[in-house]
Amino acid sequence: MNGHGGGAREDGCKAGSRVGWLFLLCWLVVSCLMVGCRTVRHDEVFQNSTIDALLAGVFDGDLTCGELLQHGDFGIGTFDALDGEMILVDGRLRQVKADGRVYAPSHKVKTPFATVCHFRPDATFDMSGPMDFGAVGKAVDRVVPNLNVFCAIRIEGRFRMMRTRSVPRQQKPYPALPEVARVQPEFPMENVEGTIVGFRCPSFVKGVNVPGYHLHFLSADESRGGHILALELEAGRCSVDRLDRFCLRLPGTVTDFATTDLAKDRVKELESVER
């Protein structure tokens, strides 16, 4: 009887430990799946909203910078109500406002338009000047000749000349972006060190992002920066990350986005705003 009872207890223990192991296995599988969901996706461009929506005046942010940072540690964009230029580098988020100063915005601030990636360079090379905006682009094109993929560009350099702009925070009803850009403050700099952060987008993104080069600048002392209008590089080190995945998030709950005519061709407007 005792022996039998002992056997039952042993069976019970075995059954208990089997349940324990099963539980541990399930927990491990679930944990792995959860970690998998949070895995950083390399070689992917993540973008919020479209450039044509921004050109049309859809300036209401709907994605927090905190959420944006889950999709990248590197990139460019703007902030809610078009409040300045965004520079994201090494996970550090910076905002160049229309007063020309650089701020570290709260991660609760929202963005109406941004392009980011998890920057992991495929190639790094030296650049020696003098090189203007066009020459910098051509140098990157030589290293990443496939113009039909995205390319993230980071240049640590010394610049004989750098001319940037920012955009002032807007009030509702929002004007279209070209109207804002007509009176944008510009920031000319001479002999400045800093980082260029930006992307080369394929021509087929017309209407969605900016085809070709779109670069922002942050000075090494983080006192100046903005959207680059012109530059003259003296010397620098350039890193490029080829990106062949594209994830587009749309501001589905923003009323202006829902009611704006995005069938219109805004290429001319984009040209007036970018350079």
42 versus 110: smaller Cβ distance to Zn ion: 110
List C-alpha distances in Å: 106 to 16, 93, 162, 219.
50, 9, 27, 20
* Residue number of the CB atom closest to Zn ion: 227
Rounded least distance, CB 96 to Zn ion, Å = 10
Rounded least distance, CB 79 to Zn ion, Å = 12
With residue 269 as reference, give the H or E element that holds it. Answer: helix 267-274
Rounded least distance, CB 107 to Zn ion, Å = 20
Rounded least distance, CB 26 to Zn ion, Å = 48
137 versus 235: smaller Cβ distance to Zn ion: 137
224 versus 227: smaller Cβ distance to Zn ion: 227
CA distance 198 to 210: 11
Query: Could you write out the DSSP letters of every residue in 183-245?
Result: T--EEEEEEEEEEEEEEEE-GGGBTTB-SEEEEEEEETTSS-EEEEEEEEEEEEEEEEEEE-E
76 versus 238: smaller Cβ distance to Zn ion: 76
142 versus 268: smaller Cβ distance to Zn ion: 268
List C-alpha distances in Å: 270 to 86, 209, 210, 212.
18, 10, 8, 12
Residues that bind Zn ion (CB under 5 A): 227
Rounded least distance, CB 150 to Zn ion, Å = 16
CB atoms closer than 10 angstroms to residue 268:
9
